[in-house]
């Protein structure tokens, strides 16, 4: 099995893990299992609810929701499998450490990142959904996907076009995108999606109060349960407004990249896809405000955010290639 095929499989699993993580969070199942790495003291959640209810008080749980428990455990199983694949990728990199231009450092960075992800996954539970921990955990998943795609592109460039440096405007696009992804995660983990009822203003019918200091403060009480959110309504409205401003900044950065590189024909399909997914994401953002964040629209908003990221990575890959071919030597397989 070639390194490229292993990385392709890892990309698919990373997408599954991120989608499962979002589905778990949107169903308020982050504490479906009150312990880690098991669930109510076992690595496999028992099918008999009576058995779970018998031990639940030992974990401070009074009401057991088996559906949420299974959501959380399936997410953990998928994340563990992804971690094993990334360990395998690091092993392939070790075999190819003397091959010129092989992305060894990138492979090792992925391994370090997936270990950190496991730690933050544990803290998500043990710190009772502390928003900064949950948001960083989400960003870690998106960064894992990003690095896997970059790794796949780097492997492809070993036999095909010569790589060029990332374009300055593309760097700005990724800065705006990751800031907005973080703000989206911060909005979700603080349950601020419901804070505004109007898609232009925050509240059209009355004077809205904002608390930007609390909204941007990552330091919160790690001893309380943050499910449902612990910010004041003034802080949540501020979070919502900041997220909207981040979306505007991202849209402007994307438009700058599209207009700048529209003449590069090999990148045009990727640029069109970026424009289309970003427009859909903005529309979904409006609809989530209008309809007060229903589960189906919130899930779609989460999924399309990943598509925007993938389209931006595709644009980056197209803009970093030239037509001259080069060969860097043989690459060992798994």
In a shared domain, residues 171 and 261: yes
In a shared domain, residues 73 and 186: no
What is the CB-side half-sphere exposure of residue 29 using CA atoms within 13 A? 20
In a shared domain, residues 145 and 170: no
Flag whether 109 is in a domain.
Answer: yes
pLDDT value for 46: 84
Q: Exactly one of 53, 63, 72, 160 is catalytic; name it.
A: 72
In a shared domain, residues 122 and 252: no
How many Cβ atoms sit within 10 Å of the Cβ of residue 60? 10
In a shared domain, residues 214 and 155: no
Grouping H, G, I as helix, E, B as strand and the rest as coil, residue 233 is helix
- DSSP 8-state assignment for residue 297: H
Backbone angles phi, psi at 39, to 5 degrees: -135, 110
In a shared domain, residues 179 and 314: yes
pLDDT value for 163: 54
Q: Residue 36: exposed, middle, or buried by beta-carbon count in 10 A (0-12, 13-18, 19+)? A: middle
Q: Distance between CA atoms of 259 and 262, rounded to whole angstroms?
A: 5
pLDDT value for 326: 37
pLDDT digits (tens, 9 = 90+) for 40-69: 999 998 888 999 999 999 999 989 999 999
Flag whether 328 is in a domain.
Answer: no
In a shared domain, residues 92 and 194: no
Flag whether 145 is in a domain.
Answer: yes
Instruction: Find out whether 62 and 15 touch, Cβ atoms under 8 Å.
Output: no
Residue 72 designated active-site: yes
Write down which residue in 133, 160, 187 finishes a domain.
Answer: 160
Flag whether 334 is in a domain.
Answer: no
H/E run at residue 255: helix 233-261
In a shared domain, residues 54 and 122: yes
pLDDT value for 160: 61
Write down which residue in 160, 195, 224 finishes a domain.
Answer: 160
Rounded CA Rg of the chain: 22
In a shared domain, residues 183 and 305: yes
Low-confidence ranges of the chain (pLDDT < 50): 323-329
In a shared domain, residues 156 and 167: no
Give the range of the structural domain holding residue 55, as residue numbers without chain letter. 1-160
Write down which residue in 102, 126, 160 finishes a domain.
Answer: 160
In a shared domain, residues 58 and 40: yes
Flag whether 234 is in a domain.
Answer: yes
Flag whether 332 is in a domain.
Answer: no
Flag whether 331 is in a domain.
Answer: no
Flag whether 127 is in a domain.
Answer: yes
In a shared domain, residues 207 and 76: no
Number of domains making up the chain: 2
Q: Is the dihedral of CA 13, 18, 22, 28 positive or negative?
A: positive
| 3-state per-residue secondary structure call for 90-157 | HHHHHHCCCCCCCCHHHHHHHHHHHHHHHHHHHHHHHCCCCHHHHHHHHHHHHHHHHHHHHHHHHHHH
């Amino acid at each position: 099995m070639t390194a490229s095929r292993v990385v392709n499989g890892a990309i698919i699993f990373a997408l599954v893990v991120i989608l499962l993580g979002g589905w778990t969070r949107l169903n308020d199942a982050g504490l479906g299992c009150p312990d880690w790495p098991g669930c109510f003291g076992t690595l496999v959640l028992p099918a008999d609810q009576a058995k779970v209810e018998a031990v639940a008080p030992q974990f401070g749980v009074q009401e057991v929701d088996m559906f949420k428990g299974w959501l959380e455990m399936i997410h953990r199983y998928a994340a563990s499998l992804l971690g094993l694949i990334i360990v395998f990728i690091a092993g392939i990199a070790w075999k190819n450490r003397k091959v010129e231009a092989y992305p060894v450092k990138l492979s090792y960075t992925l391994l370090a990142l997936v270990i950190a992800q496991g730690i933050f996954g544990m803290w998500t539970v043990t710190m009772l959904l502390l928003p900064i921990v949950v948001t960083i955990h989400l960003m870690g998943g998106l960064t894992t996907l990003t690095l896997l795609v970059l790794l796949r592109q780097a492997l492809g460039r070993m036999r095909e076009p010569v790589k060029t440096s990332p374009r300055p405007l593309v760097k700005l696009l990724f800065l705006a995108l990751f800031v907005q992804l973080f703000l989206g995660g911060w909005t979700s983990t603080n349950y601020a999606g419901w804070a505004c009822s109007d898609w232009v203003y925050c509240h059209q019918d009355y004077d809205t109060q904002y608390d930007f200091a609390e909204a941007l403060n990552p330091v919160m009480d790690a001893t309380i349960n943050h499910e449902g959110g612990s910010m004041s309504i003034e802080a949540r409205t501020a979070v919502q407004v900041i997220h909207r401003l981040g979306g505007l900044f991202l849209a402007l950065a994307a438009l700058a990249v599209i207009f700048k590189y529209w003449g590069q024909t090999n990148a045009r399909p990727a640029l069109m896809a970026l424009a289309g997914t970003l427009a859909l994401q903005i529309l979904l953002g409006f609809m989530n405000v209008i309809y007060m964040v229903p589960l189906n629209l919130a899930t779609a908003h989460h999924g399309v955010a990943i598509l925007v990221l993938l389209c931006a990575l595709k644009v980056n890959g197209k803009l970093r290639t030239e037509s001259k071919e080069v060969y860097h030597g043989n690459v060992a397989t798994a």
